[in-house]
């Protein structure tokens, strides 16, 4: 699903404020509330033509989607039921942004870095899939190593990574915990492979700037 922010009503090249974010996300919020989004869907927010964004708008769009996805990967969603449609709720979705100008990139970078969260900014797309993306925000160094290992191998399990680093002291359980955390951060998809989980990056290539 691609949401072109420049075409959302009211149309403007400036995307600021929580109220505007909620208006632009209204259809997505309804789809999430109605469980109308297919599990594992990627939602791409296209900011092409947007000159200015602020933290309140990012919080109500990209962070809202990321939070819904993260809730689906944990038990946190069961702690309290959302009281409003605009409240985040568990939904197995992934989020990326695209079409960022240099100034908008800086806003996203600062926003997610301050919250110690990662977000992928898609650079190249093909048939709705992310061919290449830049990682914005923050990712723990150990998780960065794990993500890069998953990118090199493609679909991977914790035992696969354990065998790939025979001279290391990282256990299979530790690798599994790291992969699971990257899944919770919405950087890796996972599918059941027998008794194990198999993980795959949502982007074929990720670059760090």
For residues 175 and 128, membership in a common domain is answered with no
Higher pLDDT, 75 or 134: 134
Angle at which helices 64-72 and 26-33 cross, to 10° = 10
Q: Is the dihedral of CA 14, 18, 20, 26 positive or negative?
A: positive
- Domain end marker among 76, 111, 137: 137
Q: How many other CB atoms sit within 10 Å of the CB of residue 16?
A: 16
For residues 164 and 120, membership in a common domain is answered with no
Q: What is the pLDDT of residue 193?
A: 78
For residues 98 and 36, membership in a common domain is answered with yes
What confidence tens digit (pLDDT) does each residue in 1-31 have? 899 999 998 888 999 999 999 999 999 999 9
For residues 128 and 76, membership in a common domain is answered with yes
Report whether pLDDT(86) > 80: no
CATH of the domain at 154: 1.10.10.10
- Domain end marker among 137, 172, 198: 137
For residues 54 and 130, membership in a common domain is answered with yes
Angle made by CA atoms 92, 94, 96, in degrees to the nearest 5: 165
For residues 58 and 151, membership in a common domain is answered with no
Higher pLDDT, 116 or 152: 116
What confidence tens digit (pLDDT) does each residue in 144-168 have? 999 999 998 878 998 888 888 877 7
Q: What is the pLDDT of residue 77?
A: 46
Count of H-run helices and E-run strands, the chain: 8, 10
For residues 47 and 110, membership in a common domain is answered with yes
For residues 127 and 176, membership in a common domain is answered with no
Q: What is the pLDDT of residue 40?
A: 92
What confidence tens digit (pLDDT) does each residue in 89-106 have? 899 999 999 999 999 999
Contact 44, 96 (CB under 8 A): yes
Report whether pLDDT(120) > 70: yes
For residues 110 and 145, membership in a common domain is answered with no
Provide the number of structural domains found in the chain: 2
Q: What is the pLDDT of residue 123?
A: 93
For residues 58 and 126, membership in a common domain is answered with yes
Helix ranges (H only) for the chain are 18-24, 26-33, 55-58, 64-72, 102-114, 141-153, 158-164, 172-184
For residues 99 and 145, membership in a common domain is answered with no
Domain that holds residue 146: 141-207
What confidence tens digit (pLDDT) does each residue in 47-78 have? 999 999 999 999 999 999 999 999 998 865 44
For residues 110 and 122, membership in a common domain is answered with yes
Q: What is the pLDDT of residue 80?
A: 55
- Domain end marker among 120, 137, 154: 137
Q: What is the pLDDT of residue 29?
A: 92
């Amino acid at each position: 699903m691609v949401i072109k922010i420049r075409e959302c009503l009211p149309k403007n090249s400036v995307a600021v404020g929580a109220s505007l974010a909620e208006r632009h996300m209204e259809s997505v919020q309804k789809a999430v509330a109605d469980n109308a989004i297919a599990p594992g869907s990627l939602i791409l927010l296209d900011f092409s033509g947007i000159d200015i964004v602020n933290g309140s708008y990012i919080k109500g769009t990209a962070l809202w989607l990321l939070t819904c996805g993260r809730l689906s990967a944990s038990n946190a969603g069961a702690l309290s039921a959302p009281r409003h449609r605009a409240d985040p709720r568990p939904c197995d979705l992934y989020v990326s942004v695209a079409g960022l100008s240099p100034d908008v990139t800086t806003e996203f970078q600062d926003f997610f870095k301050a919250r110690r969260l990662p977000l992928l900014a898609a650079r190249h797309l093909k048939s709705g899939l992310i061919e290449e993306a830049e990682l914005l925000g923050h990712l723990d160094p150990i998780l960065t190593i794990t993500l890069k290992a998953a990118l090199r191998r493609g679909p991977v399990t914790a035992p696969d990574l354990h065998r790939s680093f025979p001279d290391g002291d990282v256990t299979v359980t530790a690798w599994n915990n790291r992969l699971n955390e990257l899944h919770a951060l919405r950087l890796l998809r996972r599918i059941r492979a027998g008794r194990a989980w198999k993980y795959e990056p949502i982007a074929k290539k990720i670059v760090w700037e």
